[in-house]
Amino acid sequence: PLSGDVHGEAGPLFQLLDVLGYDGEGNHAQGRRLVFVGDLVDRGPDSVSIVEFVRKIVSAGKAQMVLGNHEMNLLRGERKHGNHWFWGLPEVIRKDKAAISFQRLADNPIFRDQTLTFFRSLPFALERDDCRVVHACWDEDAIRQLRDFSQQNPDGDCMDAFEHFAAKVEAKMAQESVPVDGEEAHIVRELAWQNGSPVQVVSAG
């Protein structure tokens, strides 16, 4: 089974896994393996429990996972709406803005280090003859570039790939004299980054 965009909703995820026949260790009577399609975290009340559970069963070989843009935001240290829990900070997420939202906070630096190490070990894509899995978009050119990077850098990980392609996008924008300042320049640069990096294409769309 595939599970995507859990976004910190631990209760519904665990209830679903119970209905599907999984126990609390990720075991299934028929040996079925879970595949998580990124964006485990942020917004919901308990990203901590979800990360702890998924890290445990992936490490035990009972599940697989690909990276989504929310995992990449944490790896990059990007503080965005909905992810302040990771730095132990309460946040207003509710649409009515009436109060601080209920979230379990990651106030343990060991947990944060383990989470980043786990995320950094994950792939952007999974593939076999009858199935392809990415978080956002399976684009043949983007997948080809990521495959080439992996073959040329066998010890590289997701952040190495991110930095490699980010440098290429920046170099191309500099060569094309893309403006740096102003609202229009910001939009142009965001589009160039979004469409020019295969990491962004497969993990963020």
Reported as a single tens digit per residue, the pLDDT across 9-64 is 999 999 999 999 999 999 999 999 999 999 999 999 999 999 999 999 999 999 99
Q: How far is CA 183 from CA 25, 178, 180, in A?
A: 49, 13, 9
- What local confidence, expressed as pLDDT, does residue 184 receive? 82
- 186 pLDDT higher than 90: no
Report the C-alpha gap between 21 and 14 in whole angstroms. 11
* pLDDT tens profile 87-119: 999 999 877 877 888 999 999 999 999 999 999
* Residue 152 scores a pLDDT above 90: yes
Average pLDDT over residues 147-156: 96
User: Which pTM value belongs to this model?
Assistant: 0.92
Supply the DSSP string of 15-34, one letter for each residue. HHHHHHTB-TTS-BTT---E
pLDDT at position 134 over 90: yes
Q: Are 8 and 43 in contact (CB under 8 A)?
A: yes
In contact, 133 and 2? CB cutoff 8 Å:
yes
Q: Is 199 left (phi over 0), alpha (psi -120 to 50) or beta?
A: alpha
Mean pLDDT to the nearest integer, 110-133 = 97
